[in-house]
Chain A
Amino acid sequence: MRFMRRRSDFPRTADAALAAFGIGLRQAFAAWPVLMGRALFYLVVMAILAALWDKVTAAHLPGTLAAHLPEGALTLYVGVTEWITLSVSAIHLRLEDDIRSGALEPQLLRPKPYLAQRISESLGGAAARLIVLAIAGIALLVLSGRPQPPLLAFMYVAVLGVLGCAIGVLLFTFAGLSAFWIRRVLPPYLIVQKLTFLLGGLFAPISLYPRWLFRFALATPFAAHTFFAGVQIIAPSERFFFFGIGLEVLWIIALSALIALLWRRGLARLLREGSP
């Protein structure tokens, strides 16, 4: 019995990618102890950073950046940025493993593009974490008795945060693809992580930097990863929301193109020279 195989085209590829997304989502929920561990880590980190930032903003020390910040603002900000960064899946480790152990090869024998499938799967896993950590974060917010930001802020954060998380996955994919050329992806991964701290404003909004540095950071994908979503919880702004969406979409396109290029070169190398 032979099947009528429909020719591969974009809708088919998208359907397979969607299936991969579903698998990633279900896998993450199936491994729920790991998910709970991640939520616990989020809560512990938030407990510490909340303590730090509340202390700082409560003091309102004149001549410092805290002089004019609303109380509790920085804590909310970090709550959002940590929500995003802790949801990003370790796709760089997956890629390193597949590429260096040769497990990539059987995957290449499937009729759908490997990288698109992997990224979709990672996004599925990230979606599971985004959901669980959002619940944890909101529960913490409610229990803490803090003044709540307006609902609109949450909506802006949700949209920008999801897109920002996708950018994070793409950045880690970039790091992971280095496995075609170097033995361990840890150094590129750590560089991405540090740049997220510095230019994405993981701990504090980059708007606190001197003007020139702020402008520079704003133009990097790291700001798109965390800052745009985070800043909305402190100061929701429709204008900045659309600005953020625009930049995030642009970065998703640009990073995808770069990744596709890197992948092609890596794959060509693999086909020529065999597994590393």
Chain B
Amino acid sequence: MSALTVYAASIAHAIRTSLRDRTNFLLQALGMVLNDGFFLVLWFLFFAGFREVGGWGRSDVALLLGIIMIVVAISGVFFGGYRDMAATILKGELDSLLTQPKWVLPRLIARESIPSAWGDLVVGLILLSTTAHLAIVQLPLALIALVCGLTVYVASGTLYASLAFWFAGARSFARDLTDFMLLFSSYPGSIYSGATRVIAYSILPAGFVVLTPVKLLRTPDAETLALAISASTIYFTLAVCAFHFGLRRYRRGDVNASLA
């Protein structure tokens, strides 16, 4: 079986598991819809009162939020293991995966499918198809933008989780970093300048998760496309390398795992 079919099988299993408890699944998905809906109301009020911020209008922020919601949704449904990877590593749960004849990282990522992510998907799709003012003809570009953003998001989550190979405090810190990245990705890019801009385009790469995709869809040009693609390639490579080196450490027994 090729690596792709193995992955597909793993994640299909994870999705089925998340659907098993129907009630819980619906409650979580619906809960997220309500949660997202509420924040959209707040943004609506914001624009009613302030009209625009740094050149970003309501439809621009709608596009931004639509993209980040879909990125988080797809990450959660199909790559859900990224979220609690640090905890998995520190609990010593890698051991059983290491004895199997397949790559560890894909198995880790395909481990879990997060039910609430479906709620994000619903709201994200509604946003993109209504308030974001996207044309049908932009669909291929939107797909590229989403794939790039998604790659950077999951890769960054993996990078943060890989810190667990080096220090035990990463268990909650990795989750914090992912939350910070999400926070940075939920606000219009025009507000970032100086230090925050540097952060948004490096360690908490909201710049590549949402801002470049938004730019790609609002003012598409070759430069932005190249930036989006190279950024996702770089982050992907960094994540795989960091995990690989961390795993080597783990195999040598240098990692203080099984600290439950």
Residues of A at the B interface (CB closer than 8 Å) are 33, 37, 40-41, 44-45, 47-48, 51-52, 54-56, 59, 61, 63-66, 186-187, 190, 194, 197-198, 203-204, 208
For A33, the closest partner residue in chain B by CB is: B169
Interface contact A37-B173, CB-CB below 8 Å:
yes
* B183 engages A45 (CB within 8 Å): yes
B102 touches A (CB below 8 Å): no
**Among the listed A45, A55, A190, A197, which residue makes an inter-chain contact with B190, where contact means beta carbons less than 8 Å apart?**
A55
B42 touches A40 (CB 8 A): no
Cα distance A54–B53 when bound, in Å?
Answer: 10
Contact A44 B192 (CB under 8 A): no
| B38 and chain A: residue at smallest CB distance | A194
Given B31, B42, B53, B195, which contacts A52 in the complex, CB threshold below 8 Å?
B53
> Contact at B35–A64, with CB atoms within 8 Å?
no
Q: Does B101 contact A (CB under 8 A)?
A: no
- Which of A44, A51, A190, A208 counts the most chain B CB atoms within 10 A? A51
Q: Which of chain A's residues have a CB closer than 8 A to the CB of B49?
A: 64-66, 204, 208
Instruction: Choose among B35, B176, B192 the residue that contacts A41 (Cβ–Cβ < 8 A).
Output: B176
- Give the dominant DSSP class at A's interface: helix
Most buried by A among B183, B188, B199: B183
B187 is an interface residue with CB less than 8 A from chain A: yes
Residues of B within 8 A of A52 (CB): 53, 187-188, 191
Chain B, residue nearest A52 (CB) = B191
**Cα-based distance from A37 to B180 in the complex (angstroms):** 12
In the docked arrangement, what's the CA distance between A51 and B199, Å? 13
Once the chains bind, are B50 and A56 in contact (CB under 8 Å)? yes
- State in angstroms the CA–CA spacing of A56 and B51 once bound together: 10
CB distance from A191 to the nearest CB of B (A): 10
Known A-B contacts: A48-B184, A66-B49. Give 9 more (CB < 8 A): A37-B176, A41-B176, A41-B180, A44-B183, A52-B187, A64-B49, A66-B50, A186-B31, A197-B42
For B253, the chain A residues whose CB sits under 8 A away are: none
Q: Are B172 and A64 in contact (CB under 8 A)?
A: no
Q: Are A59 and B53 in contact (CB under 8 A)?
A: yes
Identity of the chain B residue whose Cβ is nearest the Cβ of A194 in the assembled complex: B38
Q: What B residues does A197 contact at CB under 8 A? A: 38, 42
Looking across the interface, which residue of chain B has its beta carbon closest to that of A47? Answer: B196
Distance, CA A54 to CA B46, complexed state (A): 14
Q: Is the pair A55, B54 in contact by a Cβ cutoff of 8 Å? A: yes
Q: Interface 1/0s, chain B 126-158, versus A by CB < 8 A?
A: 000000000000000000000000000000000
Task: Assess whether B42 is in contact with A61, with CB atoms less than 8 Å apart.
Answer: no
Interface residues of B in 50-74 (CB under 8 A from A): 50-54
Q: Which residues of B contact A45 (CB under 8 A)?
A: 183
- State the CA gap A37–B176 with chains docked (Å): 8
Chain B residues whose C-beta falls within 8 Å of the C-beta of A186 in the assembled complex: 31
Q: Is the CB of B50 within 8 A of A51?
A: no
- Distance in angstroms from A95 CB to nearest chain B CB is 20
For A48, list chain B residues within 8 Å (CB). Answer: 183-184, 187, 191, 196
CB distance from B185 to the nearest CB of A (A): 10
Contact B53 A55 (CB under 8 A): yes
CA A37 to CA B173, docked complex, whole Å: 8
The 6 A-B residue pairs with the shortest CB-CB distance in the complex, in nearest-first order: A51-B191, A65-B49, A55-B191, A52-B191, A55-B54, A64-B51
> A59 is contacted by which of B38, B54, B188 (Cβ under 8 Å)?
B54
Closest to A62 in B: B51
Residue pair A51, B196 in contact (C-beta under 8 Å): yes
Complex Cα–Cα for A59 and B195 (A): 21
The answer to whether B172 and A65 touch across the interface, beta carbons within 8 angstroms, is no
B5 close to A (CB within 8 Å):
no
**Distance A187 CA – B28 CA, assembled complex (angstroms):** 11
Q: Please tell me which one of the listed residues A44, A65, A66 contacts residue B180 in the complex, with CB atoms under 8 A apart.
A: A44
A197 CA to B42 CA in the complex, in Å? 8
Chain B 37-51 interface residues, beta-carbon cutoff 8 Å to A: 38, 42, 46, 49-51
Q: Hey, which chain B residues are within 8 Å of A56, CB to CB?
A: 50, 53
B177 CB to nearest A CB, Å: 10
Nearest B residue (CB) for A74: B50
Which residues does chain B contribute within 8 Å of A65, judged by CB atoms? 49-50
A43 → chain B, closest Cβ, in Å? Answer: 10
Q: How far apart are the CA atoms of A45 and B196 in the complex, in Å? A: 11
- Complex CA gap A203/B196 in Å reads 19
Instruction: Give Cα A52 to B188, complex, Å.
Output: 8
A-contacting residues, B181-214, CB 8 Å = 183-184, 187-188, 190-193, 195-196, 199
Distance of A250 from chain B, by nearest CB (Å): 28
Tell me the complex Cα distance, A33–B167, Å.
14
Residues of the A chain whose Cβ atoms lie less than 8 Å from the Cβ of B38: 194, 197
Nearest chain A residue, comparing its CB with the CB of B194: A51
Shortest CB-to-CB span from A49 to chain B, Å, is 8
Report how far A51 CA is from B53 CA in the complex, Å. 10
